[in-house]
Amino acid sequence: MNELVSRVADKVGIAPDVSEKAIGMMLGFLQREADEAAVAKMITAIPGAPELVAKFNGEGAGGGGLLGGLMSSFGGGVMALGQQLMSQGLGMGEITGLAKETMAVAREHAGDETVDTVVGSVPGLSQFV
C-alpha cells in the first residue's frame, strides 16, 4: 500500500481498500474535470497516484440511479463525485477529510501553485479542500 492510501486511511479513519478506491475515483474525476496540464503534473508528482487513477478511473461514473441521473443532467461535477463516493459507503465528513488529506499530500509533492490551479479549475471543489 502506498503512502497516500495509508495516510488518508489513517487520517480519515476508513479502511485502506476504501481509501484506495476513493482516492483513485477522486483523482480520476480531477483528471477528467480539472485543468489538464496542472492535474497531469499533480498526479504524476504523487507516488502511486498514476496507478490509482489507472485502476479506478471511471469507477462509479454514470449510473447512480435516479440521483446520479439528475446530477449528470446538471453537469455532474463535484456533486456527482460526492454521490459516487457516498455509494462506496463514505459520509460527507469522510469525503471532506479524503479531499483535504489528498490535496495536502498533493501540495507536498506537486507544490501549492499546481494544486491551486487544479482546485480553482473545478467549480465548487474549493469548498471541500
- Structural domain of residue 107, as residue ranges? 3-127
83: nearest Cα among 59, 106, 104, 105: 59
Phi, psi of 124 (to 5 degrees): 85, -10
Could you tell me the pTM of the whole model? Answer: 0.84
Answer yes or no: are the C-beta atoms of 12 and 98 closer than 8 Å: yes
Q: Residues 6 or more apart from 9 whose CB is under 8 A from it?
A: 15, 16, 18, 19
What's the length of the chain? 129
How many beta carbons lie within 10 A of that of residue 85, not counting itself? 23
Domain of 57, CATH number, reads: 1.10.490
Q: For 11-60, how does the pLDDT look when each residue is reduced to its tens digit (9 = 90+)?
A: 999 999 999 999 999 999 999 999 999 999 999 999 999 999 999 875 54
Angle at alpha carbon of residue 55, lines to 96 and 122, rounded to 5°: 40
Number of domains into which the chain is organized = 1
Q: For 78-104, how does the pLDDT look when each residue is reduced to its tens digit (9 = 90+)?
A: 888 888 899 999 999 999 999 999 999
Q: For 59-83, how does the pLDDT look when each residue is reduced to its tens digit (9 = 90+)?
A: 544 444 444 434 343 446 888 888 8
